[in-house]
Amino acid sequence: MNEGDAIKELRKSTGAPILDCRKVLKECGGDTEKARVILKEKGFAKAQRLESRSANQGTVASYIHHDGKAGALVEINCETDFVAKNEIFKALAKEITMQIVACSPLCVARENVSPDAVAKIPENEREDFYKTSCLLEQPSIRDGAVTIRDLIKEAMSKLGENIVVKRFIRYKVGE
């Protein structure tokens, strides 16, 4: 694979700018896998810097399961309406609504769990509770090695804006 193809592949897989892809690829001596890891780490660092910015735009996304017996609504915020209309943002919103329908989280993040509820859970079981009950802690239904928080940070690094899951509701027939 020539350098141009390697840069193109890195750009496609990480969403990083072309100049960053070229620079990191040279630093890694042409090793695309090593360059991909470094670019992803840089993307997550960028996402952390964006988290302090306010997100007042966004969308309400919905998903109804094919059998019509379960569905979810989720409010996902970003900084501008331009990003809210972006295909990456829309795909993220759909992925999150599907996650909510499939995995039945109780809340968005561990900060949303009441201290009284946490106190009732044995200390050695709290991490498992968070992984099953908090949307951002759950492994993705498509790739169990990646959490929903990781998917959001990846989208943030590609779009250059803060993205926040504000709230959601899940419906299921009979519940």
The CATH number for 40's domain is 1.10.8.10
61 in the same domain as 45: no
61 in the same domain as 15: no
148 in the same domain as 120: yes
Element (H, E) at 44: helix 32-50
Q: Which pair of tokens denotes residue 4?
A: 């141009």
Q: What is the model's pLDDT at position 51?
A: 63
The CATH number for 93's domain is 3.30.479.20
| pTM, two decimal places | 0.71
Going by pLDDT thresholds of 50, 70 and 90, the confidence category of residue 167 is very high
Q: What is the model's pLDDT at position 132?
A: 92
- The lowest-confidence range among 8-17, 72-81, 126-135 is 8-17
Is the pLDDT confidence value at 91 over 80? Answer: yes
151 in the same domain as 70: yes
Going by pLDDT thresholds of 50, 70 and 90, the confidence category of residue 55 is confident
Phi first, then psi: give them for residue 168, nearest 5 degrees: -150, 165
User: Number of folded domains in the chain?
Assistant: 2
Q: Of the spans 44-58, 67-81, 147-161, which averages the highest pLDDT?
A: 67-81
Last residue of a domain, one of 30, 50, 70: 50
Domain that holds residue 155: 57-172
- As a three-state string, the secondary structure of 90-149 is HHHHHHHHHHHHHHCCCECCHHHCCHHHHHHCCHHHHHHHHHHHEHHHCECCCCCCCEHH
80 in the same domain as 16: no
